[in-house]
Chains A and B, each alone.
Chain A
Amino acid sequence: MHRDAFSTYHPLVNLAFFVSVIGFAMFLLHPVALGISFVCAAGYVLCIKGKKALRFGLIFMLPMLLFTAAMNPLFNHQGVTIVAFLPNGNPVTREAIIYGIAAAIMLITVITWFACVNAILTGDKMVYLFGRVAPALSLILSMSLRFVPRFIAQAKIISNAQKALGRKTSPFKILSMLVSWALENAIETADSMKARGYGLPNRTAFSIFTFTQRDALALLFFALNIAVILAGVAAGAYRFRYFPDIQGEWTGAGTLAVFTAYFLLCAFPLFLHVKEALYWKRTASVI
């Protein structure tokens, strides 16, 4: 992953950001809102993952996009502007086609945001976040993350040991042998936990993440923008409908305020990224 500023923020800030942008991406279906979220998500994923993200996008997402876009006009027959008729006599409407495209962009946007989630909310941050609400479950996750690479390595060792015995062993048998080995060893791991006092009352949760003023300011920034968006939605400034005909607010002051707030929210990590890139460029040129 490329150097990224937002990933250095506290996991709670990361989580708050992604929950809100993904939530809004799924519910704000105004074309402008869809566009804002999509551009920000795509820009950010290109920043942190580079060209690899582009290739993944083309190979994996294009078929999904087409499928989702096609599903709507085929099965949704609302809308007033009829473009054609299906063999079964049902109409294909312009509104349904546009709605299908909107749904497809929504899908791509959400998936793209999740690509960012996977890069930013790393395993240890997830374990930390779970630990705040469910410490035992979080410990299970942490241990599993420790075990998985270990078990994969052991599976390879078992498979080699069996080959060295001059036979090919079925993966099912190897899996079964791995289970024996893992369960027998697990008992010692449990002893190691007990030996270090696991099970004493009032356990605390430590993390190397520190919540600083910068994190508080970021949360405040999110909260302000979210408040503006929600207020706009509640006040009807953000009205948009696809059926039976396409109608909606585009230019009202309230509408523009919602769009501005939405853009500021979605583009937050992108701002940070560009700012940091410029800083390093400047420092490098000074040196």
Chain B
Amino acid sequence: MKYFPLITIPLTIFAGIHLLGDRRFLIIAGLVLIQAMLPIIVLFEGRKPPARVLVTMATLCAIAVAGRIAFFMLPQFKPMLALVIISGTALGKEKGFLIGAATIIVSNMFFGQGPWTPWQMFALGSIGYVAGVIFYEKKIRRIPLAIYGALAAIIIYGGIMNPASVLMFQPQPTAEMFILAYATGFPFDAVHAVATVVFLLLTARPMLEKIERMKVKYGDV
């Protein structure tokens, strides 16, 4: 199951490019999204996670959303990305991915679902996943976390969301369109990156300590 997508995703891309007609890129991208997300969800469900794990994950997810609603009205100055990175760092790649994806679903229940929802889920999920891969169960320093935060905002989040808008709404995408999408998206991504870095520098350490305290006091979360 775990390595299944590694085979099917290239197959999908190859078959898609050769077999499908108009809008083939969108179909391929959609299929890739599903194949990347599904195994993580299936593995997680199969493990029958205990109550404590679920509550902790829901708490982190709700904090990210509530933090966005309660404090930061500026459109791109969102704490969500930083919180997902912290979650992935504290709980590992799989939970990091799911917290990222769930955060998007819940956040969009307040701000509106759209065709962008699955892309955002994948983008934020990946950021949590990669954070888990790099930082989980390692000694945490703030600077590498912050650098990762900036890169994640620009390369992963922007890197997925900017082309997504072209893929979804330009039936015949061209290279220039992708470049333009990146260019117009960059100021927003830059603000997003700055916000993430600021959040990580100011809150990552205390928050990681808090989650660590729960692990020590109550066992694994």
Do A and B interact directly, with beta carbons closer than 8 Å?
yes
Q: Which residues of A contact B (CB under 8 A)?
A: 22, 26-27, 29, 68, 71-72, 74-76, 78, 99, 102-104, 106-107, 110-111, 114-115, 117-118, 121, 123, 126, 134-137, 139-141, 143-145, 147-148, 150-152, 155-156, 170-172, 174-176, 178-180, 182-184, 186-187, 189-191, 193-194, 198-199, 243
Shortest CB-to-CB span from B99 to chain A, Å, is: 8
Determine if B44 and A75 form an interchain contact, defined as CB atoms under 8 angstroms apart: no
Partner of B169, one of A103, A174, A178: A103
Extra contacts, 12 of them, besides A26-B168, A151-B63, A190-B54 (Cβ < 8 A), are A76-B172, A107-B168, A118-B113, A136-B48, A137-B44, A140-B57, A140-B61, A141-B105, A143-B62, A148-B66, A155-B71, A175-B79
Given that A134-B45, A148-B66, A151-B63 are known contacts, is A172 also in contact with B207, CB under 8 Å in the complex? no
Q: Report yes or no: A144 in contact with B65, Cβ–Cβ below 8 A.
A: yes
A106 — nearest CB in chain B belongs to which residue?
B169
Check: B143 CB closer than 8 A to any chain A CB: no
B109–A126 contact, CB under 8 A? yes
23 contacts between A and B (CB under 8 A): A76-B172, A103-B170, A106-B171, A111-B114, A114-B112, A134-B45, A136-B45, A137-B44, A137-B98, A141-B105, A144-B102, A145-B109, A147-B58, A147-B63, A147-B66, A148-B110, A150-B62, A155-B70, A171-B71, A171-B72, A174-B71, A176-B207, A183-B211
Asked whether A26 lies within 8 Å of B112 as measured between CB atoms, the reply is: no
* Contacts of B81-107 to chain A: CB distance below 8 A: 98, 102, 105-106
For A171, what are the chain B residues with a Cβ–Cβ distance below 8 Å? 71-72
Residues of B near any A CB (own CB < 8 A):
22-23, 26, 41, 44-45, 48-52, 54-59, 61-63, 65-67, 69-72, 79, 98, 102, 105-106, 109-110, 112-115, 168-172, 174, 176-177, 180, 198-199, 202-203, 206-207, 210-211, 214, 218
Closest to B52 in A: A190
A110-B115 contact, Cβ under 8 Å, with A26-B168, A140-B98, A187-B218? yes
B residues less than 8 Å from A75 (CB atoms): 174, 176-177, 180
Instruction: State the Cβ distance, B71 to closest chain A Cβ, in Å.
Output: 4
- Chain B residue at minimum C-beta to C-beta distance from A114: B114
What's the Cα separation between A75 and B174 when bound, in Å? 7
Q: Say yes or no: B54 contacts A136, CB within 8 Å.
A: yes
Q: How many Å from the CB of A26 to the closest CB on chain B?
A: 7
Which B residues are CB-close (under 8 A) to A135? 45
A245–B64 alpha-carbon span in the complex (Å):
50
